[in-house]
A and B are shown apart, each in its own frame.
Chain A
């Protein structure tokens, strides 16, 4: 798999990046977790491309461990929405933070 990490210098220097890449801002996402709906399938923390999520210690009323944000990844979410799309339990969603 090709890892297109636009933040790295490597991509800027390949000449393959859009010439106006600086006009695009990397979006910032805010993750909301509805803990009581979670069934701990693990899809969100497995398929988050930014590896923002991990299993938490919290036990919900049905005995499952919902996800939490990894330490140090608090502003790593880019609001791609993969966790929201892949969650079978409607237990997670992402809100894009708009900074004007």
Chain B
């Protein structure tokens, strides 16, 4: 019944680089799976897909997908992707990076990309800490959580990512956990077909860092937390959708925003047309 074989998704991967660098129980492989699953099902030519990332564990993801990929500097994936997309709108530009990369060091860029309604998809894998550097606290670390730099518990208020992105006018905003694999795949497919700025937050376990400091002994125990506390609510009041790990509040997931608003590329092409027609 069991035999060694080639994984059907290997054609979408740089399989010579496997096994990947991520720790056992890390949710990033699942996000990669969802991404390749989505691009394999969509009618967008594979050659048009471009993956861009900043720096961090999540940012290593594009290096494993068999598409054009760019591993840029810390926090700057979105402006890099902006340049790519404006020059060649045919490209399906997806930024997959971590919470630290996108919302701490790169926070300025993501709010402006959302404001412009730039035609890119941003998948933010949120593990509530800086995984690659050893689990330091960041803007998404829940209040009270322990990390390697908040040994007495985090006293700072944390970002509520879907709430921020929805307030900035993003065309599509969703949140899933890495347990919601099928929903995540469908969400990526839907977001790639949307015009304008799409944002998907994926809540993901980080067993050796955030997990270890917060009584999740392995990836599985954090996944179990997602399983028990996730509540699907597409119409959720996003101001209440922040996350803590007390288990006292639901972990709200769903597709919160889907709206049609002129996208940057549409508006820019129109501007160029007007300027070129000027005598």
Contact = CB atoms under 8 A, between A and B. Distances in A.
B182 interface: yes
Interface in A11-59: 30-37, 39-43, 46-47
A74 B4 CA distance: 16
B33 A33 contact: no
B20 A89 contact: yes
B18 interface: yes
A69 interface: yes
B179 A39 contact: no
Given A85-B181, A85-B182, A32 B4 contact: yes
A90 B10 contact: yes
A46 B220 contact: yes
B29 interface: yes
Interface residues of B, number: 37
B19 A32 contact: no
A3 interface: no
A43 B28 CA distance: 13
Given A46-B220, A69-B2, A85-B181, A41 B25 contact: yes
A68 to B, nearest CB: 7
Interface residues of A, number: 29
B3 interface: yes
A38 to B, nearest CB: 8
Dominant secondary structure at the A interface: mixed
Contacts of A78: none
A30 B15 CA distance: 22
Nearest to B227: A47
B50 interface: no
B7 A33 contact: no
Contacts of B26: 41, 88
Nearest to B22: A88
A36 B19 CA distance: 8
A78 to B, nearest CB: 14
B219 interface: yes
B33 A87 contact: yes
B244 interface: no
Interface string A78-94: 00001001111111010
A40 B219 CA distance: 10
B3 A32 contact: yes
Interface string A51-77: 000000000001010001100001000
B83 interface: no
Interface string B8-41: 1110010100111011111111101110010000
* Residue of B10, B30, B37, B185 most packed against chain A (CB within 10 A): B30
Contacts of A43: 25, 219-220, 223
B143 interface: no
Given A43-B223, A85-B30, A88-B26, 4 more contacts: A34-B5, A37-B18, A41-B219, A85-B37
Interface of A: 30-37, 39-43, 46-47, 62, 64, 68-69, 74, 82, 85-91, 93
Closest 3 CB pairs of A and B: A88-B29, A39-B24, A85-B181
